[in-house]
A and B are shown apart, each in its own frame.
Chain A
């Protein structure tokens, strides 16, 4: 039982490049989330998906797109990376019908040069 798995763990991009961060959970959770964490700040919500087939914007969605491919997978795409997107990205999942505890992946450390 792996929980929430994120790939890659580290990535360096040049300004303007694109990439997709992958997230998968094996806990049969309905809800999934993408957060970013910047130094000295708490995690901020980028996008979330309440259930398969639905996505919605969070606090800081600009410059990102998401896809809820199926119940297990929720990807985050940067179409044209900017230095301001240098951050650590965490994916999380929860089951709203249950205790609704959020479980986090190990994170992706992204640097945009």
Chain B
């Protein structure tokens, strides 16, 4: 089955700096890669996703890049703000079959004001 590795486990940045979180996946058949943000005690919320037919996707201050050959994808947050502080999870799945997500272990991002 799929295995998703996520790094780093914790990340502390100053407000206004950029943050990068990286994930690798093992199953070359995976073709859908969402990123979820989870605030303390809350549900995971989708913030951005990418499918394997594109290499990069951007939405305001967040972007995701995908390298299918190397089987890794990354989340980039620019101009970080204190409200970006949360745990971020990457995930991978296929658009066929059961479509259940395989999650990384999470990155706790702390943005220092």
Question: A residues engaging B (CB < 8 A)?
Answer: 31, 33, 40-45, 48, 50, 56, 58-59, 90, 94, 96, 100-107
Contact = CB atoms under 8 A, between A and B. Distances in A.
Interface residues of B, number: 24
A44 B95 contact: no
A33 B46 contact: no
Contacts, number: 53
25 contacts: A33-B100, A33-B101, A40-B106, A41-B105, A42-B105, A42-B106, A43-B101, A45-B101, A48-B98, A48-B100, A50-B98, A58-B100, A59-B1, A90-B43, A94-B99, A96-B99, A100-B32, A100-B99, A101-B34, A101-B46, A102-B34, A102-B46, A103-B46, A106-B42, A106-B43
The prevalent SS among residues of A at the interface is loop
A44 B9 CA distance: 17
A6 to B, nearest CB: 9
Interface string B22-56: 00000000001010000000111110010000000
Contacts of A90: 43-44
A19 B35 CA distance: 32
Contacts of A31: 99
A104 B44 CA distance: 7
Contacts of A40: 9, 105-106
Nearest to A50: B98
B100 A45 contact: yes
Interface string B75-112: 00000000000000101000100111111111000000
Contacts of A103: 46
B43 A100 contact: no
B6 interface: yes
B98 A56 contact: yes
